[in-house]
Amino acid sequence: MIQRSRVIQVFITVKIPSSIWTLLIGIVLTLVSLWYGQNHGLLPIAASEEATKVDGLFNTMMTVSTGIFLLVEGILIYCAWKYRRKAGDNTDGPPVEGNIPLEILWTGIPAIIVLGISVYSFDVYNSLSGVDTHSAHQAPITQESQSIPGSAIAATLSDSSQGEVAHMDLSVPAAKGPPADVVVNVMGLQYAWIFTYPETGFNTGELHLPIGKKVQINMTASDVIHAFWVPEFRLKQDAIPGRESVFSFTPKEPGNYALICAELCGPYHGAMRTQVVVETPEAFEKWQQEQLLASKEELNQALAMNPKHGSPTQLLTHHAQEMGIDQEVLHQIHQ
Ligand SMILES: [Cu+2]
């Protein structure tokens, strides 16, 4: 016991030079910053290949800002304690004014950090096989698709409006990099997302994607500005009426992710969300076949009701029955 306290006493009385202290504190600060930059746990899982690049940038910024935070707050607390007013001492401290080398240092270091981060972030942005920044051309949207009522929701979309979405022209420039394996046309409207798979032509209200395949999204909106946001893909892109935004990404983690509208678009904006299902290519293929079958069955049913492919009145009657509209009313409207 006595020996132990003596060791502590020796340790305290040995004068450690301030340069050693500075070095030690510097090493500890660097290690803590590096560790926290990788273990902050602030982001959801990175479910796309692009997400990893964005996370690299975020973690770097987190490391730098943790270091600066600890340094600045540490100096502040140390000085407040070290230079506190001693009892009975009513004198003022020495007047200090200006320190050119110090001012150059604390202007130069942040300038270098900001420049470094901007170059890095520009590089990440460019490497995202990303947003086509030249897509300011008019999207080839049909007149009719503009007239989808604002209050429509995915579940109540009629066959006719789905058809219009499917007719969205595909003659837009592809996103950067190699061609995509899967192309999906996305339409944002108050308050739903409609996905059209142009290869097969069916529409859904849920986005299904195969793992490891490059996906190209051709997106527009039918009424007001919406935004396609999937936090796990680190992807947020505006859907703008009259314009087509083209971007691409590669999902890499299977799972169900929330697709959230990130642009205040009306009173039910908060409800404008759906699911992105990332699944194996086999499961994706199976899902596509099911969707195709379902849309064919629907068509066959309509044709069966109208053997001679049906007159407009007959087709209208069929849809009216499904919607529960009275024959009498329909007849009157048709007059
Ligand atoms: Cu919206």
Report the interhelical angle of 312-323 vs 327-334 (nearest 10°).
140
| Ligand 1: centre distance to CA 313 (Å) | 35
CA distance 128 to 177: 9
> 268-326 pLDDT, tens per residue?
999 999 999 999 999 999 998 888 888 777 777 777 766 555 555 555 555 555 555 55
Q: What is the dihedral of CA 290, 293, 299, 301, to 10 degrees?
A: -100
| Ligand 1: centre distance to CA 207 (Å) | 16
| Ligand 1: centre distance to CA 273 (Å) | 8
Domain boundaries, the chain: 19-80+101-127, 133-334
| Ligand 1: centre distance to CA 258 (Å) | 14
pLDDT of residue 161: 43
Query: Which two three-digit tokens encode residue 300?
Result: 């066959």
- The CATH number given to 133-334 is 2.60.40.420
| Ligand 1: centre distance to CA 265 (Å) | 5
pLDDT level of residue 29 (50, 70, 90 thresholds)? very high
- Provide the whole-model pTM: 0.68
| Ligand 1: centre distance to CA 332 (Å) | 37
> 183-240 pLDDT, tens per residue?
999 999 999 999 999 888 888 999 999 999 999 999 999 999 999 999 999 999 999 9
| Ligand 1: centre distance to CA 53 (Å) | 27
Q: Around 63, how many Cα atoms within 13 Å sit in the side-chain half-sphere?
A: 15
